A and B are shown apart, each in its own frame.
Chain A
Amino acid sequence: MPALVVQWIVALVMLVGAFFILLASIGLLRMPDLFLRMSATSKAGTLGAGLLLVGTIVHFWDFSITTRTVATIIFLLLTSPVAAHLIARAAYFDGVPLWEGTRRDDLRGHYHTSTHTLDSVVRPAPDTEIPEMEGDDFPEEG
């Protein structure tokens, strides 16, 4: 059993980590749109899990456990954005509706719906449904 101060540090770090995971799930439930939900879960969830693992490092303070835990943190930091991007891309093709308060959709018309490749020229294919948005794409400032 580590010293009392170390136990307190571990408990506090892991409390912050659990709090961030709770924030991620609140964001997942309350955000209005798939992409906003993903921005809440992928960032806060990774940070929370990373903080829990940091608490583990401080608690055990052993070389082999530290290497395993650091490997897990690096793995999480590498794979979480990749997974989020994969799901967001697939959902965009799937036609997931955006939040009605969305001001700009920079990808609109840039994706070939048949070949799933990006194109810098905006060319709406006849079979694509481009949602009409209220107001300007570029809101005037001032």
Chain B
Amino acid sequence: MMLDVLWSAILVMLSAAFVLAFIRLVRGPRLPDRVIALDLLTIVVMGFIIVYAVRSGQAAFLDVAIILALISFVGTAAFAYYIERRV
């Protein structure tokens, strides 16, 4: 069925995004590169959770996405504070 192909395409795109962001996380020449790669990885994982919530019909998983967005912001702010004080 066409809809299943569409959902598979969504999951494939998210997986490719995860892999590409992870390559930047490993390679990234400096610490800020790794931090923004982690930021994008959090967004990709949020996407996985949202897709799973829609596919399984369990709206409770959306709370995980909210918490993940919150933790991502706090973590990025902490990393920025650390990088700025390190100099």
- B40–A45 touching, CB < 8 Å: yes
> Which residues of the other chain, A, contact B76 by a CB distance below 8 angstroms?
83, 86-87
A98 in contact (CB, < 8 A): no
* Bound CA–CA A120/B85 (angstroms): 23
Q: Contacts of B13 on A, CB cut-off 8 Å?
A: 15, 18-19, 21-22
With contacts A34-B32, A59-B54, A86-B80 taken as known, whether A21 is within 8 angstroms of B44 at the C-beta atoms is yes
Q: Give residues 81-137 of A contacting B (CB, 8 Å).
A: 82-84, 86-87, 89-91, 93-96, 113, 116
Which partner residue on chain A sits nearest B21 by CB separation? A25
Question: Residues 50-87 of chain A: 1 if any B CB is under 8 Å from the residue's CB, otherwise 0?
Answer: 00110110011010010011011001100100111011
Which residues in chain B, 1-46, are within 8 Å of chain A measured between CB atoms?
Answer: 3, 6-7, 9-10, 13-14, 16-18, 20-21, 23-24, 30-33, 35-37, 39-40, 43-44, 46
CA distance A94 to B75 in the complex (A): 18
By the criterion of a CB under 8 Å from any partner CB, how many residues of chain B are at the interface?
A: 49
Residues of A within 8 A of B (CB): 7-8, 10-12, 14-15, 17-19, 21-22, 24-26, 28-29, 34, 37-38, 41-42, 45-46, 48-49, 52-53, 55-56, 59-60, 62, 65, 68-69, 71-72, 75-76, 79, 82-84, 86-87, 89-91, 93-96, 113, 116
